[in-house]
Amino acid sequence: MIKITKEVIEECANNMMFKITDEELENTLEEFDSIVKQMSFISSIKDIEKQEPMTFPINEIHSYLREDVPSETIDVETELKMVPSRLGNQVKLPKVVG
C-alpha cells in the first residue's frame, strides 16, 4: 500500500486542480492516517477473510417503507395560501447555510 504523505496529497490536489491550504493538507493527512490505522486493525483480525462482507447492517433494507399509493395533490394556489412567505409560485424559506 502506498504511504500517504504530504507530497502525495499535494500531488493529488494538483492533479485535480485544487488549491489546498497547509491547514487542509494537515487535516487530510490526519484523516488518511486514521483510515490507514482502521484498515490495519481490521486486517489484523484473525480469519477476517472468511467473513462475508457486509454492505448494509440490515438484511431487509426496505422493510420499513410504506407502500407507495398515489393520492390527490394539493392545488398550488391553495398550498401557497398556507405559507408565510412566497416568491412567485414558490415557497420562500429562510436562509439555512451561512
In the chain, how many domains are there?
A: 1
Residue 22 within any structural domain of the chain: yes
- How much is the mean pLDDT over the chain? 87
Using CA atoms, how far apart are residues 25 and 13, in angstroms rounded to an integer? 9
- Tens-place pLDDT, residues 55-85: 877 776 666 677 888 998 888 889 899 999 9
- Tens-place pLDDT, residues 35-51: 999 999 988 999 988 98
Q: What does the pLDDT read at residue 98?
A: 67
Residue 61 within any structural domain of the chain: no
Q: Model's pTM, two decimal places? A: 0.50
Residue 79 within any structural domain of the chain: no
Residue 57 within any structural domain of the chain: no
- Quick one: pLDDT band at residue 7, thresholds 50, 70, 90? very high
Residue 80 within any structural domain of the chain: no
Domain span at residue 13? 6-44
Backbone dihedral angles phi then psi of residue 91, each to the nearest 5 degrees: -80, 130
Residue 14 within any structural domain of the chain: yes
